Amino acid sequence: MRSPCFNPLCTSDRICPGHQKPLKFRLCGGLQKGLPFCFQDKEPVMNTHLMHNYAPLPVTFEKGEGAWLWDNKGQKYLDALSGVAVCGLGHAHPAVAEALCAQARTLIHTSNWYHIEHQETLAQKLTALAGMERVFFGNSGAEANEAAIKLARLYGHQKDISNPAIIVMEGSFHGRTMATLTATGNRKVQAGFEPLVQGFVRAPFDDLAALETIAQNNSDVVAVLVEPIIGEGGILIPAEDYLDGIRKLCDDNGWLMILDEIQTGIGRTGHWFAFQHSNSTPDIMTLAKGLGNGVPIGACLAKGVAAELFQPGHHGSTYGGNPLVCATALAVIETLEKEQLNQRVRQLGETMLADFKTALTDVEGIVDIRGLGLMLAIELERPCGEILQQALDAGLLLNVTADNVVRLLPPLIISDDEAEQIITITCDLIKNFLSTPSA
């Protein structure tokens, strides 16, 4: 059977080595990104009532516990992805479940028309951890970034700049709303959705000289928006002085420094926030993913002038920061603190990185092995989307991003033994993949 790619723009003509049938790329965004999928092997999970914007792997999970998931056939999987850096405390963590249930039994939602105590408490906690002053709560990462973009524009207008521009990075990912996909430095995310939003200037990542050149030539710039480590774009870790360099440039030019910590925040890299590996604090920082451990929440934190920009009527969200999500996020933070997970993540991340390097030393076809905390990447010299399905077959959930980067974002609570299992299975998969000639 030859089944078409879900995306009509996909023109893949690669052949499945097992079946000698065409492989089509799922999740390809029209440009062959993501997972090549042999339709001989497994039927895609098709649901006639859902739009085709996702192309899920053929597995349905029914329950989870810690770093483990079980599918509807009783098969067990080790989760090295955490729902893409979301479930830092793993699945069904008792403290999260308890906070969620207790709050659901008491009060789920009122409205931002009224004072919400949990919001205040969570905002106080987050600002204390981050050295920031105020928070806006939304429901997702994209929404948190939208708030940051709106703050930057208000800031620009306050300075009498009528077309304020934000510097954004090549290779970045900031979300799927119109402004955030425009900010995203990946044409595949933008293709088909033109006209894009105005007011963004693009620069290469990890290139302070490029930012300096923009500073000299563009007086409309009001802010820099950057991921401390590029996540979706392949776990790209900049030079150690990069964030400090951006901070200095922002100070010298009167720009706001905006950090998208949606993937790196809440302990993922071994500090509460990745910027805490540097000496600089941003003016604005966005969070989501790990903050709710699966409960939808986004947060835009600000300090200084940026914290005072929003006035009543400027921005809002019906659900943002409701009692249910805030009570859960507070439980997430308290648990991370109680279990001292930042320390643990720093130590385990270093061990895992070293173990990957040892296990894959001299393996031909590996370009780089890198990571910080439990944000780990093995870059291969060729696209390796098929590893996703092979990992699933081997009972492991991981991810391939930027075509050729195996990405691991395990729960922060994994044991040494689980970490070892992740390393063993992943290395076997990679060695096996690289020993098979490309189609």
Cβ nearer to ligand PLP, comparing 38 with 55: 55
Interface mask (CB under 6 A) for ligand PLP, residues 272-311, using x and -?
A: ----------------x-----------------------
As measured in angstroms, the least distance from the Cβ of 228 to ligand PLP is 9
Q: Which amino acid is at 377?
A: A
User: What's the rounded Cα separation, in Å, for the pair 204 and 276?
Assistant: 23
Contacting residue, 227, 283, 386, 418, with ligand PLP by CB under 6 A: 227
User: What's the rounded Cα separation, in Å, for the pair 242 and 244?
Assistant: 5
- The burial class, CB within 10 Å (0-12 / 13-18 / 19+), for 239 is exposed
Cβ nearer to ligand PLP, comparing 79 with 227: 227
Cβ nearer to ligand PLP, comparing 263 with 426: 263
State the number of binding residues for ligand PLP (CB under 6 A): 15
Span near ligand PLP by CB under 6 A; candidates 17-25, 140-148, 246-254, 365-373: 140-148
| 25 carries an active-site annotation | no
Q: Are strands 68-71 and 76-79 parallel, antiparallel or unpaired?
A: antiparallel
As measured in angstroms, the least distance from the Cβ of 193 to ligand PLP is 15
Cβ nearer to ligand PLP, comparing 154 with 288: 288
Span near ligand PLP by CB under 6 A; candidates 91-99, 256-264, 379-387, 397-405: 256-264
User: Contact, 86 vs 293, CB < 8 A?
Assistant: yes
Cβ nearer to ligand PLP, comparing 268 with 346: 268
Tell me the three state secondary structure of residue 230. Answer: strand
As measured in angstroms, the least distance from the Cβ of 152 to ligand PLP is 16
User: What's the rounded Cα separation, in Å, for the pair 213 and 208?
Assistant: 9
The answer to the question of residue 141 lying near ligand PLP (CB under 6 A) is: yes
Q: Beta-carbon neighbour count of residue 196 at 10 Å?
A: 14
As measured in angstroms, the least distance from the Cβ of 320 to ligand PLP is 13
Of 68, 58, 72, the C-alpha closest to 393 is 58
| Residue entry with tokens 């007086």 | 219
User: What's the rounded Cα separation, in Å, for the pair 132 and 155?
Assistant: 17
The answer to the question of residue 175 lying near ligand PLP (CB under 6 A) is: yes
As measured in angstroms, the least distance from the Cβ of 145 to ligand PLP is 6
As measured in angstroms, the least distance from the Cβ of 142 to ligand PLP is 3
| 71 carries an active-site annotation | no
61-65 sheet: strands from edge to edge: 61-65, 68-71, 76-79, 396-397
The answer to the question of residue 174 lying near ligand PLP (CB under 6 A) is: yes
Span near ligand PLP by CB under 6 A; candidates 4-12, 41-49, 170-178, 242-250: 170-178
- Active-site residue identified among 39, 173, 310, 356: 173
Residues 6+ apart with CB under 8 A from 138: 144, 146, 147, 297, 298, 299, 300, 317, 320, 321
Of 149, 139, 152, the C-alpha closest to 184 is 149
Residues 6+ apart with CB under 8 A from 393: none
Q: Which amino acid is at 64?
A: G
Contacting residue, 7, 82, 119, 140, with ligand PLP by CB under 6 A: 140
Q: Which amino acid is at 392?
A: L
Tell me the residue nearest to ligand PLP as measured from the CB. 141
Span near ligand PLP by CB under 6 A; candidates 224-232, 311-319, 326-334, 379-387: 224-232
Residues 6+ apart with CB under 8 A from 231: 85, 173, 262, 263, 264, 375, 401
| 21 carries an active-site annotation | no
The answer to the question of residue 249 lying near ligand PLP (CB under 6 A) is: no
User: Contact, 411 vs 352, CB < 8 A?
Assistant: no
As measured in angstroms, the least distance from the Cβ of 195 to ligand PLP is 21
- Active-site residue identified among 6, 25, 136, 260: 260
The answer to the question of residue 146 lying near ligand PLP (CB under 6 A) is: no
Cβ nearer to ligand PLP, comparing 167 with 360: 167
Q: Which two tokens stand for residue 202?
A: 């693009």
Whole-angstrom CA distances from 273 to 151, 179, 268, 385 are 21, 24, 8, 30
User: What's the rounded Cα separation, in Å, for the pair 4 and 329?
Assistant: 42
Catalytic residue numbers, as ranges: 173, 260, 289
Q: Site residues (CB under 6 A) for ligand PLP?
A: 84, 140-142, 145, 173-175, 227, 231-232, 260, 262-263, 288
